[in-house]
Structure 1
Amino acid sequence: MRKNNDFGLLILRITIGFLMLLHGIAKLSGGLDFISGMLVNKGLPGFIAYGVLVGEVLAPVLILIGFRTRIGALLLALNCVAAYFLVHTADTFKLGETGGWALELLGLFFLGALALFFTGGGRFAASKNHKWD
């Protein structure tokens, strides 16, 4: 069987983009009060919570359609880093209830985004010829 890197990148883009977009839609419908409150408790301005919409709505849409995929992937990776430091540092060395790493979902999003940052969106992306594609 012949390998097809571009089809693999499409599958990765759809997976990472769609699954993170679901998180963003939940934030859109449920509000950002939880995140805003968490930021304020850490001494940061609450309005920074709107940045989650960039990382969990805009970035996944860019990744899904393959427009400036590398920018979308970078934004998503930075969103994962922010989520780690704001919420998940205590879980760094914990196992989840099913035996996997407690941060495996965040890790998969981060590493998937990082892979797309280095590879770009592939041939099946909406844009392919810019340095950020």
Structure 2
Amino acid sequence: MLVSIDHSSSVSLAEQIAASVRRGLVEGSVRKGDRLPPARSLARTLDINMHTVLRGYQILKNEHLIDMRPGRGAVVTADAPASTLVTEACRHFVALAQRAGMSRTDILDLLHTQLHAATQGPSGLD
């Protein structure tokens, strides 16, 4: 499983770790029953504090995607719900829009326009 982080991102490192696992679930590289890397070794690999990794894992546990047990480590307990894909796509979209210099209002206007267009139907008369 590939966990990647961006130290320059405004997103917390723990959330980036959780997002990497969610992305793996969505893409199929992480599956129910898989063990996540031990927090200590992942922290060493990413050159971050072990407690940061544990916070990321706790986020996933709170979302009922993994289970953490002493001596057993972190194990994926659920398949990715459809909402996970949408949530990850939204996070990615917002990050891209912010990097492009769009304001919150611009982003919301764009989403509103796209949602409106998507609900119009093929004829545009709905």
Q: Which TM-score band (shorter chain)? A: under 0.3
Higher relative contact order (CA 8 A, sep 6+): 1
TM-score by length of 2: 0.28
